[in-house]
Amino acid sequence: MKYDEKMKELGKRFDTHKAAITVTTERFLGIDWRRADGSGDYYVSYLLDRKRGALYISGDLGDCIAVWYNPLNEKDLKGYVRDIGYFIGKIQCASDLYCYSEDDVLEELHEHFDDETVENYVSSLPDFDIADSEEFWQIVGSEVSDSMWTDGFRPTERLRGILEDIDPDFFEWIDSCGRSISPRVLLWAVGFRMACEQLEQKCIL
């Protein structure tokens, strides 16, 4: 799975965390996931509505509501959140779901437009508009840099114009260009699994 290694690495942030049950009824299960020293760093509160099949997450890593719309228990959910793509598809609202990297955007653009495509585009332009493919990528790199915002990637008007000239269907893929799942989503998932496993080992869950 694509994110397994990354989740394993992120799981180290929870090395000293201790899980505690805050609510336990036939319908609800509440778990506090906090560092042993009581610090709020990477603190997560999980509340599972077993009847509705909903997981409510809050704490230092942000907030999230994920809903399955059918009854499920914590053992089922522990398996479901292992598949990050499946988990993120169940999230109805969250602090952040995705993050964007300038380097990743450029890498994907290079994958979409090979050397021949770029050379054909440059040669189709009026004389001296863009000298060669090297200048093309310099311009695109500058426009990508200007397109990066704290909350995502929003292509400049010039960049959209260039992309549309080369690929009229660019709008079908540009919104996800350079996008990856936010680390907080991975932390929510691995934290829930680790908390459940810790409680299971203590025969509390």
In this predicted structure, the answer to whether residue 111 has a pLDDT above a threshold of 80 is yes
Strand partners, 55: 48, 66
In this prediction, residues 71-97 reach a mean pLDDT of 93
State the chain's mean pLDDT as an integer.
93
pTM: 0.83
Q: Are 28 and 47 within 8 A, CB to CB? A: yes
pLDDT at 81: 95
Distances (CA, A) of 74 to 23, 91, 150, 191: 13, 17, 35, 13
Identity of residue 107: E
pLDDT at 80: 95
In this predicted structure, the answer to whether residue 3 has a pLDDT above a threshold of 80 is no
Q: Classify residue 76 by its DSSP letter.
A: H
Share of the chain above pLDDT 90, in %: 87
CA-to-CA distance for 163 and 167, rounded, in angstroms?
A: 6
The runs of H, that is alpha helices, within the chain are 4-10, 74-80, 84-90, 102-112, 115-124, 133-147, 157-166, 183-201
Q: What is the pLDDT of residues 153-198, one digit of tens each?
A: 999 999 999 999 999 999 999 989 999 999 999 999 999 999 999 9
In this predicted structure, the answer to whether residue 50 has a pLDDT above a threshold of 60 is yes
In this predicted structure, the answer to whether residue 2 has a pLDDT above a threshold of 60 is yes
pLDDT at 202: 85
Q: What is the pLDDT of residues 133-149, one digit of tens each?
A: 999 999 999 999 999 99
pLDDT at 173: 94
